């Protein structure tokens, strides 16, 4: 196929507006008569609310409303993407540090903040369970009210759910070596640069909401349910978010804003501070106990994995994170026997939600570190042990799921070549390597509308959220390619549930494949209509015309589509409209609701130095290689992989929540929760792809953007372990932790 736009890297859709400050983020939007608001919280992880005195707060000039749970419909409405467990405002009990007990609305933010401090909450502090072991203690306080989970045998525990996956007979497997360890993965936050923000405004006989949301249609559904309004009366605007990383997938404080706006009859806005954001979104932390069996020659015999994921006080989407994160826990390997038990454990901590990698990095950290340890014990090269076990293209490495959809050894070998795996190193330098795999979406539904206008320009309407990953650019490239128009003549409309057709969600690296295919189908619907009209105009049979890939072939000659659009439309002009629908239905009986649409496969290789006097880790060379099928936009693919790698280096080297003895988060905000700066980046950075056009998306593309985060920790720890001669099993690998490991050897 002779591609024109696909496979190139045109300027990013919306990029100019972003870098010049012209883009209006939700926090930039000012509606006429809009009021500002502030959340009221107490400095506790777990408490019974005795009373809330709002009298003094209401006296602050400019204050228009101080809303508590008592001001909401009773019983207090609850919501959640998996289970409706989260109250709009704390309902008699605060279950995590930062859970709002009231919302103050005022004419200025300053007045709202002042009044928020004057809301007097009387409470009785209760013991909090904020670690896995505390939550699993039989004496632990119950996080979720058992009445919210009727007929659930686990209702009187803090275990929300248990997931069992596996095949083969572990207990009868004979292994020459069994490596058994426990690994911990820290609690970290998504840290989007754009603040989370929400506006709610009465809209005739309905409601309009602006949100920094990845899934506007899901938010629409939740709000319609809470307000008992038809979907058509709930309009969600979702301006392109400034980074999401999973943290902006689901409803948070929009319901509270909606109730306040409806009470007051005017628009109300809430912009979260960074500190509040830490208390709103985070990744599941995890403790993984793992037993891995090997033959003498390094072949996997079994994987026996128990993963204890720590959820927050409300489930959000985190139980799905646990299921999907652990399901492929045995990795991209052929393993004869696998037993995975993962637990979703509730705790008095901020609700965990989706975060790039969706539960997979947590278990990958254990599995790949165990591979390294086995390699060392068996005297097998760490690259070789992975190649020996890697599933080959077409291998059914997870029974009943999609077979391996790529030649993954190519990816591994490319990474090995870029890190010069077999080349001798200076004694101070060490290498590490790891692989990671993640399932793409298991279900999906994406509609799109493509309009070919009379002058040969194009408007694409699609409900994907472009939060920086570049979906605007990718869908525009696909439409330009299929309709034969220049990229610059394509406009993309997103972020308005009233005018843009339904898209299930922007997550699981799906949009290039699912929305991409939807746009492709919409363009093909245009091809079909063009064919019909041209057949009429030229008075020939439709079978004599072919329209595809931007060109019209008539019996005498070929034309680019734009040259014939006027002919096809005739005197009245107008436009040709194509509707696209891409659907991946659920499959009954499948443990995840459906097999993977594609796999994200990545190999990361690292060269590092460790300063033994301080524990400092310096990454001297970093290599990330992903199997992406086809790069629709090579520059964006590279940017996504580099971004994922750097984000992964955060939880690998420095990021983690620190709690005090009562379960309050001590390092709220940027001063003591450190993320990487440009000065902390690897000294050399290589990011490459493997492209065999073997994906299910347009032109053979697979989804990508999470893969390069999956095994960052494992690869870095592999190099650090090689340097210090001991394995560290807790993240992050701070200088202090590395130094402690060195001291322990003395």
Q: Which residues bind another protein (CB under 8 A)?
A: 110, 113-114, 117, 613-614, 653-654, 658, 666-667, 671-672, 674, 676-680, 734-736, 739-740
With CA atoms as reference, report the closest residue to 353 among 130, 545, 507.
507
**398: which 2 tokens?**
């997870």
Least distance CB 410 / another protein (angstroms): 34
Packing angle, helices 561-569 and 514-538, rounded to 10: 60
- Minimal distance, residue 674 CB to another protein, in Å: 5
Angle (CA) 132 133 135, round 5°: 65
- 28: which 2 tokens? 């930039």
Residue labelled with tokens 């994995």: 305
Half-sphere exposure of 574 (CA within 13 A, CB side): 10
State both tokens at 129.
């369970």
CB 309 within 8 A of CB 342: yes
Distance (Å, rounded) from C-alpha 270 to C-alpha 108? Answer: 11
Give the nearest distance from C-beta 41 to another protein in angstroms: 13
Query: Which single residue is written with the structure tokens 């909090």?
Result: 128
- In the complex, least distance from residue 664 CB atom to another protein, rounded to whole angstroms: 12
Output 572 or 679, the one with its CB closest to another protein. 679
**How near is the Cβ of 677 to another protein at its closest, in Å?**
3
Neighbours of 738 (CB within 10 A): 24
- The CA-atom distances, in angstroms, between 721 and each of 205, 434, 676, 681, 729 are 63, 13, 21, 20, 10
Q: Are strands 63-68 and 268-271 parallel, antiparallel or unpaired?
A: unpaired
706 is catalytic: yes
Residue 62 Cβ vs another protein, minimum distance, rounded to whole Å: 12
- CA torsion sign, 393 to 367 to 177 to 386? positive
φ/ψ of 641, rounded to 5, equals: -65, -40
Task: Specify the residue, 491 or 667, whose C-beta has the smaller distance to another protein.
Answer: 667
Three-class secondary structure of residue 651 per DSSP: helix
Residue keyed to tokens 């095949």: 167
C-alpha 344/C-alpha 135 separation (Å) is 11
Cβ atoms of residues 717 and 376 within 8 Å: no
Nearer to another protein, 151 or 678 (CB): 678
Give the position of tokens 């009231």. 102
Answer for the pair 552, 558: CB distance below 8 angstroms, yes or no: yes
| Least separation in angstroms between CB 109 and another protein | 10
The least distance separating another protein from the CB of residue 27, rounded to whole angstroms, comes to 17
* 254, 287, 362, 706: the active-site residue: 706
The residue among 652 and 705 lying less far from another protein, judged by its C-beta, is 652
Cα–Cα distance, 528 to 526 (Å, whole number): 5
Which residue's CB is nearer to another protein, number 168 or number 735?
A: 735
Contacts of 353 (CB under 8 A, 6+ apart): 246, 247, 249, 250, 281, 282, 283, 316, 317, 318, 321
d(CA 7, CA 699): 10
Neighbour tally for 34: CB within 10 Å: 15
Given a contact cutoff of 8 angstroms between Cβ atoms, the answer to whether 723 and 603 are in contact is: no
Q: How far is the CB of 279 from another protein (least distance, A)?
A: 15
Catalytic residues: 706
């Amino acid at each position: 196929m002779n591609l024109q736009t696909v496979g190139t890297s045109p300027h990013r859709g919306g990029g100019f507006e972003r870098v010049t400050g012209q883009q209006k983020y939700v926090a930039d939007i000012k509606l006429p008569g809009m009021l500002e608001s502030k959340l009221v919280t107490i400095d506790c992880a777990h408490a019974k609310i005795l009373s809330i005195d709002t009298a003094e707060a209401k006296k602050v000039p400019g204050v228009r409303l101080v809303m508590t749970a008592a001001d909401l419909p009773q019983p207090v409405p609850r919501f959640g993407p998996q289970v409706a467990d989260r109250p709009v405002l704390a309902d008699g009990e605060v279950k995590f540090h930062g859970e709002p007990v009231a919302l103050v609305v005022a004419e200025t933010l300053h007045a709202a903040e002042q009044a928020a401090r004057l809301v007097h909450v009387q409470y009785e502090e209760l013991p909090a369970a904020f670690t896995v072991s505390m939550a699993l203690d039989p004496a632990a306080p119950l996080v979720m009210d058992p009445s919210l989970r009727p007929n659930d045998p686990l209702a009187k525990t803090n275990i929300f759910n248990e997931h069992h996956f596996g095949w083969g007979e572990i207990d009868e497997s004979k292994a020459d070596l069994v490596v058994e360890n426990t690994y911990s993965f820290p609690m970290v936050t998504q840290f989007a640069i754009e603040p989370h923000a929400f506006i709610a405004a009465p809209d005739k006989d309905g409601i309009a909401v602006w949100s920094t949301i990845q899934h506007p249609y899901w938010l629409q559904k939740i709000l319609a349910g809470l307000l008992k309004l038809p979907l058509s009366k709930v309009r969600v605007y979702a301006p392109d978010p400034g980074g999401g990383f999973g943290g902006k997938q689901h409803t948070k404080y929009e319901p509270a804003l909606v109730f306040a706006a409806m009470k007051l009859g005017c628009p109300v806005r809430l912009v979260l501070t960074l500190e509040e954001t830490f208390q709103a979104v985070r990744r599941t932390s995890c403790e993984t106990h793992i037993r891995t069996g090997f033959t003498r020659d390094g072949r996997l015999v079994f994987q026996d994995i128990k993963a204890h994921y720590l959820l927050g006080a409300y489930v959000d989407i985190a139980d799905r994170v646990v299921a999907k994160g652990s399901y492929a826990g045995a990795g991209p390997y052929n393993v004869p026997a696998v037993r995975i038990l993962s637990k979703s454990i509730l705790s008095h901590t901020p609700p965990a939600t989706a975060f790039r990698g969706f539960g997979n990095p947590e278990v990958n950290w254990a599995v790949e570190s165990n591979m390294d340890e086995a390699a060392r014990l068996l005297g097998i090269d760490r690259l070789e042990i992975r190649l020996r076990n890697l599933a080959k293209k077409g291998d059914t490495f997870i029974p009943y799921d999609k077979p391996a959809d790529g030649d993954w050894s190519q990816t591994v070998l490319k990474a090995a070549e870029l890190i010069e795996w077999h080349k001798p190193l200076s004694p101070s330098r060490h290498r590490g390597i790891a692989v990671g795999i993640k399932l793409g979406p298991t279900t999906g539904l994406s509609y799109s509308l493509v309009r070919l206008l009379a002058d040969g320009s194009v408007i694409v309407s699609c409900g994907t959220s472009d939060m920086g990953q570049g979906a605007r650019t990718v869908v525009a490239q696909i439409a330009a390619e299929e309709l034969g128009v220049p990229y610059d003549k394509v406009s993309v409309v997103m972020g308005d549930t009233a005018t843009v057709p339904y898209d299930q969600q922007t997550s699981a690296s799906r949009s290039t494949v699912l929305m991409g295919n939807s746009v492709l189908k919409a363009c093909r619907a245009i091809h079909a209509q063009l064919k019909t009209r041209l057949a009429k105009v030229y008075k020939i049979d439709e079978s004599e015309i072919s329209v595809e890939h931007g060109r019209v072939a008539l019996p005498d000659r070929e034309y680019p589509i734009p040259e014939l659009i006027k002919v096809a439309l005739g005197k009245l002009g107008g436009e040709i409209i194509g509707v696209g629908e891409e659907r991946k239905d659920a499959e009954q009986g499948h443990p995840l609701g459906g097999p993977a649409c594609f796999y994200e496969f990545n190999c990361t290789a690292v060269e590092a130095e460790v300063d033994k006097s301080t524990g400092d880790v310096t990454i001297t060379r970093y290599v990330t290689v992903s199997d992406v099928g086809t790069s629709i936009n090579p520059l964006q693919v590279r940017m996504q992989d580099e971004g994922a790698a750097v984000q992964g280096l955060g939880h690998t080297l420095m990021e983690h929540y620190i709690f005090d003895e009562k379960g309050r988060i001590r390092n709220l905000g940027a001063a003591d929760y450190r993320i990487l700066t440009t000065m902390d980046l690897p000294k050399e950075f290589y990011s490459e792809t493997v492209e065999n056009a073997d994906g299910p998306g347009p032109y053979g593309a697979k989804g990508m953007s999470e893969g390069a985060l999956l095994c960052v920790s494992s690869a870095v720890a592999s190099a650090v372990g090689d340097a210090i001669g001991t394995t560290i099993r807790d993240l992050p690998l701070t200088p202090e932790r590395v130094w402690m490991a060195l001291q322990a050897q003395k």
